[in-house]
Amino acid sequence: MSSTENLTPSNFIRHIITSDLSNNRNDGKVITRFPPEPNGYLHVGHAKSICLNFSMAEEFDGRCNLRFDDTNPEKESIEFLESIEKDVQWLGFTWAEKCHASDYFEQLYDFAVQLIKSGDAYVDSLNAEQIREYRGSLTEPGKESPDRNRSIEENLTLFSAMRQGEYKDGEYILRAKIDMASPNINLRDPAIYRIKRAHHFRTGDAWCLYPMYDFTHCISDAIEGITHSLCTLEFEDHRPLYDWILKTLKTPSHPQQIEFSRLQLEYTIVSKRKLAQLVNENHVNGWDDPRMPTLAGMRRAGYTPESIRDFCERIGVTKKDSWIEMAVLENCIREDLNDNAPRAMAVLDPLRIVIENYPDDETEILEVSNHPQKPELGRRKIPFSKTILIEQDDFSETPPPKFKRLIEGGEVRLRSSYVIKCNKVIKNDEGNIIELRCSYDPDTLGKKPEGRKVKGVIHWVSEPHSLSAEIRLYDRLFRLPNPDSEDSFLDALNPNSLEILTKCRVEVSLSEAKPSDRFQFERTGYFCIDSVESKPEALVINRTVTLRDNWGK
Ligand code: ATP
Ligand code: MG
């Protein structure tokens, strides 16, 4: 269990909800929503929003909807929608209702007509460039469009004709009529509907007119009776528009928008658009590449849902933007796997040892526990034989000071097994070590050797029994804490983020491992059977995280 278990750090949103409840706002109800756009896979930043929305609802006996904000048909797809459902469920949350902004297209259209009828929206024929010119700047007020005072009748006719497909894309747009001189540029007659001939993955070609985000989001919240609409800080300046639309339309419910800071995680990118670019330009092998900060990538790397939820708890929720160190995330999975992953032995870079005084054809079956602190994780059998494999770097011919592993003439303990002594180093013609000749002390199984101290313990596998495996060592995808500090975030990619080891040998118990099973390989790190490419006869194993935080060292 993690160290933060049972601790519920407070956050300012919890305070707002508590105070709303004590003032009996919203009839004592708490209804939240997680509103992704199905235009990519969810990333660890979304996890923060998911955990917040679902846990606030849960904590106050409320409900949380999953709402797809699907108003940009060109970028959205059923693949993305399904991946989002899967990821939210995998994180461990159950939505009250699954909703789509596209479910509300007809209602949204009616609300737009209502705005036109009350004189609060108009059809504009300015093109995109002109609209930008007329908008003004932070220091200068905007200019009113010549179409701003079009009659209500004419607006209604034009808007209806827009829907009927009588105009080209971009020929007209519908704008809210608010205030071209407002210091808040979002209130300078924002666009609320645009003509766009694009096939929508849910509504097909039924519409050639799509509502804009700001118009859609607040109304969707109101339709669903959301009480607390939690979003990230960049929407703070949009809140006056959110409130203006709902107030002007006199919707029966008026949700409260509350902004919190986005998760920014060092050495990674949390922007679907940029992650999509990594995928589309083949900088990574798909959305679920274990180096990706997507939930699909993290799952494939071996992250558990618990570790990600723990991470979201630890970072808390504030109004201040800040960067979170990668070590915070890595420590969450490390602690979880240290507590829960069974142990096993794997040799990544094998060196053969022949034990000269061990009988030729004998195999001994040693029984070892799967977890030093958790007998409930059971025991397993590991074979010991005359030929074993150890890591190349657990032997040294020219040992540095304090080297506790194997040296010529020295002794070392094989984990859960015997003490061996190295008698002879065998080299090939090029002078490379190819084999060690050793002897074992039969009296040292589970016992200290008589009359001498053996300090080092190394891991090993029995060569004839071991399975070969490809092990993929992942490193950070970017070499800089803030990849966006370069001209292009692509310039910050870490060229060595993936190292593939093909000569690895793992203990035979792994023949029963299933895709996604997680292990601590003794002394080596935390690993996970690849869920996509691993096969029983050709294991592919991903490193989830190193045993200790030694990045950059
Ligand atoms: P991206 O830029 O990655 O596409 P987005 O905000 O456009 O992000 P949405 O699908 O609209 O993606 O996001 C769904 C919800 O998740 C929104 O409420 C958004 O505020 C929240 N969210 C997105 N990124 C983060 C983040 N890094 N930290 C916290 N919440 C986030
Ligand atoms: Mg968005």
Q: What is the rounded CA–CA span in Å between residue 518 and residue 510?
A: 11
Label residue 341 by pLDDT band (50, 70, 90): very high
Give the pLDDT score at 55: 97
Give the pLDDT score at 553: 58
Q: Which of 7-11, 62-66, 390-394, 455-459 has the lowest mean pLDDT?
A: 7-11
258 and 361 belong to one structural domain: no
Which ligand is the nearest neighbour of the Cα of 69?
1
Does pLDDT of 7 surpass 70? no
259 and 365 belong to one structural domain: no
Flag whether 364 is in a domain. Answer: yes
- Which atom of ligand 1 is closest in space to residue 263's alpha carbon? 28
Q: Which amino acid is at 209?
A: L
Flag whether 317 is in a domain. Answer: no
- pLDDT tens-digit series, residues 373-389: 999 999 999 999 999 99
CB contact set of 156 (below 8 Å; sequence gap of 6+): 113, 116, 117
255 and 378 belong to one structural domain: no
CB contact set of 90 (below 8 Å; sequence gap of 6+): 295, 299, 305
Q: What is the residue range of 89's domain?
A: 8-265
Q: Is the distance from CB of 301 to CB of 293 less than 8 angstroms? A: no
- pLDDT tens-digit series, residues 396-423: 999 999 999 999 999 999 999 999 999 9
Side by side, the strands of the sheet bearing 350-355 are: 457-458, 411-414, 419-427, 433-441, 350-355, 387-391, 461-462
Give the pLDDT score at 424: 98
Q: What is the rounded CA–CA span in Å between residue 526 and residue 343?
A: 9
Degrees to nearest 5, angle at CA 229 with 100 and 203: 10
Give the pLDDT score at 3: 41
- pLDDT tens-digit series, residues 293-317: 999 999 999 999 999 999 999 999 9
User: What SS3 state is found at 293?
Assistant: coil
249 and 368 belong to one structural domain: no
Which ligand is the nearest neighbour of the Cα of 262?
1
Label residue 321 by pLDDT band (50, 70, 90): confident
Mean pLDDT, residues 225-238 taken together: 97
The CATH number of the domain holding residue 445 is 2.40.240.10
Supply the residue whose CA is at minimum distance from atom 10 of ligand 1: 36
Supply the residue whose CA is at minimum distance from atom 16 of ligand 1: 46
Which ligand is the nearest neighbour of the Cα of 229?
1
- pLDDT tens-digit series, residues 252-263: 999 999 999 999
Q: Which residues surround ligand 2, an ion (CB under 5 A)?
A: 37
Pocket test for ligand 1, best of 49, 214, 231, 295 (most atoms within 8 A of CB): 49
Give the pLDDT score at 9: 60
Q: What is the rounded CA–CA span in Å between residue 10 and residue 17?
A: 12
How many domains does the chain divide into?
2
CA–centroid distance, 367 to ligand 1, in Å, is 49
The CATH number of the domain holding residue 243 is 3.40.50.620
Supply the residue whose CA is at minimum distance from atom 22 of ligand 1: 46
Give the pLDDT score at 5: 42
Label residue 549 by pLDDT band (50, 70, 90): confident
The pTM (predicted TM-score) of the whole model is 0.95
Among 465, 480, 506, the domain boundary falls at: 465
* First and final C-alpha spacing in the chain: 28
User: What SS3 state is found at 46?
Assistant: helix
Does pLDDT of 326 surpass 70? yes
Q: What is the rounded CA–CA span in Å between residue 82 and residue 73?
A: 16
Among 431, 447, 465, the domain boundary falls at: 465
Residues in contact with ligand 1 (CB, 6 Å cut-off): 35-37, 45-46, 48-49, 69, 231-232, 262-263, 270-273
360 and 258 belong to one structural domain: no
CA–centroid distance, 185 to ligand 2, in Å, is 19
Mean pLDDT, residues 307-328 taken together: 95
Flag whether 342 is in a domain. Answer: no
- pLDDT tens-digit series, residues 494-530: 999 999 999 999 999 999 999 999 999 999 999 999 9
355 and 259 belong to one structural domain: no
Which residues are identified as catalytic? 37, 262, 272
Flag whether 345 is in a domain. Answer: no
Give the pLDDT score at 2: 40
Among 265, 298, 333, the domain boundary falls at: 265
- Which atom of ligand 1 is closest in space to residue 271's alpha carbon? 3
Flag whether 541 is in a domain. Answer: no
Quick one: tokens of 278? 């990594």
Question: Which carries the bigger pLDDT value, residue 7 or residue 46?
Answer: 46
CA–centroid distance, 254 to ligand 2, in Å, is 21
Flag whether 448 is in a domain. Answer: yes
Mean pLDDT, residues 317-335 taken together: 95
Give the pLDDT score at 552: 65
How high is the mean pLDDT of the chain? 96
Supply the residue whose CA is at minimum distance from atom 13 of ligand 1: 36
| DSSP bridge partners of 419 | 413, 441
- Which atom of ligand 1 is closest in space to residue 35's alpha carbon? 14
CA–centroid distance, 333 to ligand 2, in Å, is 28
CA–centroid distance, 360 to ligand 2, in Å, is 66
Q: Three-state SS across 455-474? A: CCEECCEEHHHCEEEEEEEE
Give the pLDDT score at 4: 41
Supply the residue whose CA is at minimum distance from atom 4 of ligand 1: 272
261 and 362 belong to one structural domain: no
Supply the residue whose CA is at minimum distance from atom 29 of ligand 1: 262
Supply the residue whose CA is at minimum distance from atom 26 of ligand 1: 45
- Which atom of ligand 1 is closest in space to residue 38's alpha carbon? 10
Flag whether 553 is in a domain. Answer: no
Candidates 460, 371, 373; CA nearest to 415 is: 460
Pocket test for ligand 1, best of 41, 44, 46 (most atoms within 8 A of CB): 46
CA–centroid distance, 28 to ligand 1, in Å, is 28
Query: What are the CA-CA distances from residue 278 to residues 88, 288, 292, 477, 507 (Å)?
Result: 23, 12, 9, 11, 36
241 and 362 belong to one structural domain: no
Candidates 152, 156, 136; CA nearest to 144 is: 136
CA–centroid distance, 442 to ligand 1, in Å, is 61
Phi-psi region of 248 (alpha: psi -120 to 50; beta: other; left: phi over 0): alpha
Pocket test for ligand 1, best of 69, 232, 238, 308 (most atoms within 8 A of CB): 232
Flag whether 163 is in a domain. Answer: yes
- Which atom of ligand 1 is closest in space to residue 232's alpha carbon? 20
Give the pLDDT score at 460: 98
CA–centroid distance, 61 to ligand 1, in Å, is 25
